[in-house]
Structure 1
């Protein structure tokens, strides 16, 4: 009686055939799906890098005729900035705003962000936050946010002083 398993020759031939198929199969990165996966990964990493650089680059305020005073570190549901905007107009034209934070403090203390009747002659004064973060919009306008935040959270640029 033989010590070999039954059908030893057939099993051995099947194993050799499987090994040949495995060795002749192309590597995953040389197939079309592998190359598409690599290209997609490279594009994703590059896109994330570009988006990070665009959002995190500091910008100066170039449009000094308007200031956006946000009422909180969030945007409206339609993507616009929350709060109010201010500009200083004179009969000769619009004056440049030199201190955006001071302008927003005046708005806060004047009650612009309180729940007031818009027709009231004497609005209830408000309390200004202790700290502000100045950010810059894509158009170069100052956006003053109450509190200390990262400007990129609001899709704004950090202020370059």
Structure 2
């Protein structure tokens, strides 16, 4: 008897043929699908970078006539900011708001966000949150959010002093 495996020569020829096919096959990155995958990955990384730069860049408040006082750390279902927008009007026009957090604190303490009857002349006073985060909208208006959070969560820009 022989120590060899039965059909040794045929198995060896099959293995050599498979090795030749594997060596002749182009690398994955040289195929059409490989190149499409690489291009898609590059586009995804570039898009994420642009989105991060756009959302995370700090902005100053350039429109000081309006302040958005948010009711919570969320947006309305239609994408608008929750809460209310405020401005200070005088007979001469709208004046600039220097301290957006102070204005929103007054609104909270005045009961603007409490469950009040909208037609009541004397709303029940509310209590203001202990901390606020000031963000900036795309239009350059201040958006004051109760609590601490990253502004990008609400698709807003961080406030630049």
Q: Normalising TM by the smaller chain, what interval?
A: over 0.9
Per the alignment, residue 74 of structure 1 pairs with: 74
Per the alignment, residue 94 of structure 1 pairs with: 94
Find the aligned partners of 2:118 and 2:43 in 1 and give their Cα distance.
51
Find the aligned partners of 2:11 and 2:122 in 1 and give their Cα distance.
96
Report the number of matched residues: 161
- Once superposed, which parts of structure 1, at least 4 consecutive aligned residues long, lie more than 3 Å away? none
SS in 2 for 1:72: coil
> Post-superposition shift, 1:5?
2.4
> Post-superposition shift, 1:93?
1.4
> Post-superposition shift, 1:149?
1.0
Find the aligned partners of 2:37 and 2:56 in 1 and give their Cα distance.
28
SS in 2 for 1:130: coil
CA RMSD of aligned residues (A): 1.0
Find the aligned partners of 1:152 and 1:74 in 2 and give their Cα distance.
11
> Post-superposition shift, 1:133?
0.7
Once the two structures are superposed, residues 61-115 of structure 1 have per-residue CA deviations (whole angstroms, 9 ceiling, x without a partner) of: 0011100000111111111100001011122211111111111011011100001
Find the aligned partners of 2:137 and 2:61 in 1 and give their Cα distance.
8
Per the alignment, residue 135 of structure 1 pairs with: 135
Per the alignment, residue 32 of structure 1 pairs with: 32
In structure 1, stretches of 5+ residues that fail to align are: none
In structure 2, stretches of 5+ residues that fail to align are: none
> Post-superposition shift, 1:54?
1.0
> Post-superposition shift, 1:42?
1.0
Find the aligned partners of 1:102 and 1:11 in 2 and give their Cα distance.
84
2:3 paired with 1:13: no
Find the aligned partners of 1:113 and 1:7 in 2 and give their Cα distance.
86
> Post-superposition shift, 1:152?
0.8
2:52 paired with 1:61: no
Q: Normalising by structure 1, what TM-score?
A: 0.96
